[in-house]
Structure 1
């Protein structure tokens, strides 16, 4: 049985209207940050502002619909779920990049990454091994604090609000798919109109791969949200993905001319590997009784 007491927090008749209100508010709130990102480029502060739009939309939706904020899942929950949320992105990221490196789709260690990381951390003249270890500790460990603060903004909406709303109406599979698709569509302007992609070629293909990745992640994150009763599992998972997969594994890989087709969030391998993980959690969800809507 799920750890989240949906029947005590959510009036089933209000769930779909709440989803509609949330989508509308998220779109409205995102207009400002998106305008700045499209005009000024991928500036860190504008990205942070965009990432908090779903969270603000979720909070206002709760206010407008008369839901208590506890529906969002603020409690921390059992530590094992947070540990799983932290470790899973690292695991599927390592599996994906091990395949990429072994298949020759990209090189194992990019010298440019070592030089830039060394300069950024003030480690010029240090050995490659020392720079690599310290960069993993800083970019993957210490940076998690900042990344969780950003990821929380999104996850208050995607997993905090939408999971309890949609699970009152739909099965685990439908809920996970809807949230993953909405999540991907929300990123579409970034992919098609900014440099948040693998380059200005095959953007439709890149968006398809990215959508498969986010839908697959949605299955895993929805399961963790339901089992833990905590939106923090989603925030930790999201932050760990960004820290280890995007900021470490991808930039430390040496890219070849055709690497864009295989590596990163827009290539083929990572979405495929994550989909395999998602299939496992889909099976676990069925075994745990999430096949039907929660009453």
Structure 2
């Protein structure tokens, strides 16, 4: 596990270094990464995300467990079968929670999204599924959480993984991704709280769906997609305030995490005997 976290961070951070040093970051290198689909992150951030968590998980699984281990690791990546309710939870629960917290932070100032934004929502969700979701979740959930829960309790595993998942992102706060140079310490603090609490929510989904990685990926990118596509559209008074957006997301995920911990008595849906391939868990 130590090798995974060190290797994932090292590979990602080294790959991100040009982006951090560029004009998209601290400006030490007089080069700006070109934008694709309106963002420089596809060329600046995504390569490091792919190389780090998923690359480390693949390499270490091959070395430690061999062909059978890789087969099991890939099997969870292809484990689509789950009760339909979990697909609804993965796709709709996060947007619903973000709408509620957005209403609270905007004093109820909300408008209906445009047709163009509604039309773009599902394609962007699919796009983020194969970018952010595929880059991160085979490492954090499929490799790390799966192994942590064999040694520690589900709640302790979540408490270990959440801060480590947070730390992996930290260099990106020196780039446009993290709002540099305008972002305050509030954004970093709120993001850290969000990662740790949302990790508990994602651990619960991963466990309750029989360790279905596609459901974890959907849950993850539902948050990213709503934040990037819908947030400023339906909450215009909060547009451009990244600190407030992350604070709202942190509050919502913390409430959800507390409810899950209380209702599951800290088990987070983990039942090792039941969490078998193809299990239709409810």
Q: Does 1:284 align with 2:258?
A: no
Distance 1:251 1:230, change over 3 A: same
- Separation of aligned partners in 2, 1:45 and 1:198: 17
Match runs of 1:82-231 below 5 Å:
82-102=87-107, 108=110, 132-138=114-120, 140-150=121-131, 151-191=133-173, 193-198=174-179, 200=181, 203-228=184-209, 229-231=211-213
Q: How high is the TM-score relative to the length of structure 2?
A: 0.78
Residues 96, 273 of structure 1: 8 Å contact kept:
yes
Relative contact order, higher structure (CA 8 A, sep 6+)? 1
Q: Contact (CA 8 Å) 2:200, 2:268: kept in 1 or not? A: no
Do the aligned partners of 1:180 and 1:216 also contact (CA within 8 Å) in 2? yes
| SS state at 1:77 partner | coil
Q: Deviations over 1:135-166 (max 9, x none)?
A: 1221x211122100011110001111111111
Q: Deviations over 1:157-206 (max 9, x none)?
A: 11111111110111122111221111111111111x11233564563332
For residues 212 and 45 of structure 1, the distance between their equivalents in structure 2, rounded to whole angstroms, comes to: 27
Deviations 1:224-273 (A, max 9, x none): 11111211111111111111123211355335799555x222xx222112
**CA-based RMSD:** 2.7
Relative distance call for 1:64 and 1:252 in structure 2 (3 A) is same
Q: Secondary structure at the match of 2:56?
A: helix
Report the number of matched residues.
248
SS at structure 2 position matched to 1:250: helix
- 1:274 is matched with which residue? 253
Q: Distance in 2 between matches of 1:59 and 1:170?
A: 22
Q: Which residue of 1 aligns with 2:10?
A: 28
2:124, 2:225 within 8 Å by CA — same for their partners in 1? yes
Q: 5+ residue gaps in structure 1?
A: 1-18, 110-128
Partner Cα distance (2:11, 2:183) in 1: 29
**2:204–2:269: 8 Å Cα contact kept in structure 1?**
no
Query: Is 1:240 equivalent to 2:217 in the alignment?
Result: no
